[in-house]
Amino acid sequence: MTAISTAPAGAGARPGASPAMIWSALLVIYFVWGSTYLAIRVVVEADIPPMLGMASRFLIAGALLAMILAIRSGRQRLRVTRRELLGAGVVGLLLLAFGNGLVAVAEQSVPSGLAALLVASVPLWLILLRVAGGERPRLFTWIGVGVGFTGAAMLGLSGGDTSARPFSIALVIIGSISWAIGSRFSPRLGLPKDPLVASVYEMAIGGTAMVLIGLVTGEGGRLHPASIEVSGWLALAYLVVFGSLLAYSAYAYLLANAPISLIGTYAYVNPAVAVFLGWLILDEPVTSKILLGGAIVVVGVGLVVSAERLSRTKP
């Protein structure tokens, strides 16, 4: 699961935006974010405690991003109000500490591709949150939700064909729900208008919370830097530089220059990339149940996104 700034996106492409730049940024989002599930799996398999490992990822990335912004635009760019800081803190807790953090904990036994497919259900949880808030989606949307959750149920049951434990599957689902809650309510929290500045504080607060959670759950006693494999350090560095800094910059560019309908296509591509890389590099099992369940989830999400897009365009 990737940290995504939830600042409001533009409704359409900005006039004069370079198609080449837009598609370059999309390719970064497609493949880099899809590969983060693999990198997380490598990190936790290299004896790096999951919460502390992800905490270091976001704290380092947040510090580097803050330094880059301060050098380019001055420290005043990082100034935020108390409300903006509080909003970024809530989003950091929901998306990073409980969203990304729980997925990392789960990936100690859940294959990276399976985790990515389960996380792909986030748009379905968003619909249920909207219903709980009093909205009434279209019938076509409900069909997509039903199809998507059928696929998610199949994925949950298919975990028995892999190393995944039921508790770990549940953690991925809880993390996805937390991510959906954070995404749903973030526009009401008064986040900083600059998505990169919002990301700095989300990563700083979310990362700090993950350190505390890791220490409370005993991860500190499991942290032995001298015994960590080189692959673990390389995967962690990849998450910092590519998974956070590069992908954040690409996403921020897309928010300002591309229609949200185009940006949202990463939800279809990321799981496929994660499943392929997990199979190719870590020899993770890709059973017929996983492929079928994953395909059904993606179809369900596609139906939901299509229905919502139609409802927005109709007068």
Structure tokens belonging to residue 101: 């953090």
Amino acid 160: pLDDT:
60
Segment 55-81 shows an average pLDDT of 94
Rg of the chain over all Cα atoms, to the nearest angstrom: 19
Mean pLDDT of the chain: 85
Amino acid 7: pLDDT:
44
Q: Is the pLDDT of residue 50 over 90?
A: yes
Q: Is residue 6 included in any domain, yes or no?
A: no
Lowest mean pLDDT among 2-11, 138-147, 228-237, 262-271: 2-11
Q: Is residue 58 included in any domain, yes or no?
A: yes
The neighbour count for residue 19, using CB atoms within 10 Å, is 10
Structure tokens belonging to residue 216: 């409370």
More confident residue, 213 or 272: 213
- Give the confidence band of 156 by pLDDT, cuts at 50, 70, 90: confident
Q: Which residues contact 157 (CB under 8 A, 6 or more apart)?
A: 289
Residue 240 CA to residue 54 CA, distance in Å, equals 9
Lowest mean pLDDT among 168-172, 227-231, 268-272: 268-272
| The dihedral formed by the CA atoms of 129, 253, 101 and 294, expressed in degrees to the nearest 10 | 60
Give the DSSP per-residue string, 5-31: --PPPPSSPPTT--HHHHHHHHHHHHH
Q: Is residue 39 included in any domain, yes or no?
A: yes
Residue 98 CA to residue 213 CA, distance in Å, equals 10
Q: Is residue 14 included in any domain, yes or no?
A: no
DSSP, collapsed to helix, strand or coil, labels residue 76 as helix
Residue 31 CA to residue 294 CA, distance in Å, equals 18
Q: Which residues contact 59 (CB under 8 A, 6 or more apart)?
A: 203, 204, 207, 208, 211
Q: Is residue 287 included in any domain, yes or no?
A: yes
Q: Is the pLDDT of residue 9 over 50?
A: no
Q: What is the pLDDT of residues 171-203, one digit of tens each?
A: 999 999 998 898 888 878 888 888 889 889 999
Q: Is the pLDDT of residue 311 over 70?
A: no
Total structural domains in the chain? Answer: 1
Residue 277 CA to residue 101 CA, distance in Å, equals 21
Lowest mean pLDDT among 41-55, 58-72, 141-155: 141-155
Q: What is the pLDDT of residues 160-177, one digit of tens each?
A: 667 788 899 999 999 999
Q: What is the pLDDT of residues 55-64, one digit of tens each?
A: 999 999 999 9
Q: Is residue 5 included in any domain, yes or no?
A: no
Q: Is residue 181 included in any domain, yes or no?
A: yes
Amino acid 8: pLDDT:
44
| The dihedral formed by the CA atoms of 103, 108, 110 and 114, expressed in degrees to the nearest 10 | 50
∠91-95-97 over CA atoms, to 5°? 100
Residue 34 CA to residue 2 CA, distance in Å, equals 9
Q: What residue type is assigned to position 260 of the chain?
A: I
pTM: 0.85
Q: What residue type is assigned to position 201 of the chain?
A: Y
- Give the confidence band of 134 by pLDDT, cuts at 50, 70, 90: confident
Q: Is the pLDDT of residue 152 over 90?
A: no
Q: Is residue 239 included in any domain, yes or no?
A: yes
Amino acid 175: pLDDT:
94
The neighbour count for residue 166, using CB atoms within 10 Å, is 12
Structure tokens belonging to residue 199: 């990301």
Residue 249 CA to residue 255 CA, distance in Å, equals 10
Q: Which residues contact 148 (CB under 8 A, 6 or more apart)?
A: 121, 123, 124, 296, 297, 299, 300, 301, 303, 304
Label residue 274 exposed, middle or buried (CB < 10 Å: 0-12, 13-18, 19+): buried
The alpha carbon of residue 131 and the mean position of all alpha carbons in its chain are separated, in whole angstroms, by: 23
Range of the structural domain that residue 250 is part of: 19-313
Lowest mean pLDDT among 13-17, 18-22, 245-249: 13-17
Contact between 128 and 310 (Cβ < 8 Å): no
- Give the confidence band of 31 by pLDDT, cuts at 50, 70, 90: very high
